[in-house]
Amino acid sequence: MSSPQAHGRVMRDQARQSSIDEFQCARCGAVYDVAITHRAPRAEYDAICIVCCEVMNEWHGTVGRAYTLKSQPAHA
Ligand SMILES: [Zn+2]
């Protein structure tokens, strides 16, 4: 028997199973789904909020991240 706790979240998030995380823009509060993508070229990466154009996050490496806007703040 596997732990029921380990499966609870997976089942609830079935609709967006490719996403690994959620990220909220610190400036405007927009919420993004973060998914790993291997399509991005090898380079430096940054995630820019499409609502307020602020750089939300930066990282390095060969694996890219796709940020998909999930919900915008009401005042944007
Ligand atoms: Zn923002």
Tens of pLDDT, residues 42-57: 555 788 999 999 999 8
In a domain? residue 22? yes
Q: Which domain holds residue 43?
A: 4-71
CA of 48 to the centre of ligand 1 (A): 8
CB 36 within 8 A of CB 21: no
Say what the pLDDT of residue 75 is.
Answer: 61
Q: Which residues place a Cβ less than 5 A from the ion ligand 1?
A: 25, 27-28, 30, 49, 51-52
How far, in Å, CA of 55 to CA of 27, rounded? 9
Say what the pLDDT of residue 46 is.
Answer: 84
In a domain? residue 76? no
In a domain? residue 53? yes
CB 11 within 8 A of CB 25: no
CA of 32 to the centre of ligand 1 (A): 10
> CA–CA distance from 64 to each of 17, 31, 34, 39, 41 (Å)?
17, 18, 10, 7, 8
Amino acid type, 69 = L
CB 32 within 8 A of CB 13: no
Q: Look at the pTM and tell me if it is higher than 0.75.
A: no
Mean pLDDT score, 15-33? 82
CA of 46 to the centre of ligand 1 (A): 13
* Band of pLDDT at residue 28, cut at 50, 70 and 90: very high
Q: How many structural domains does the chain have?
A: 1
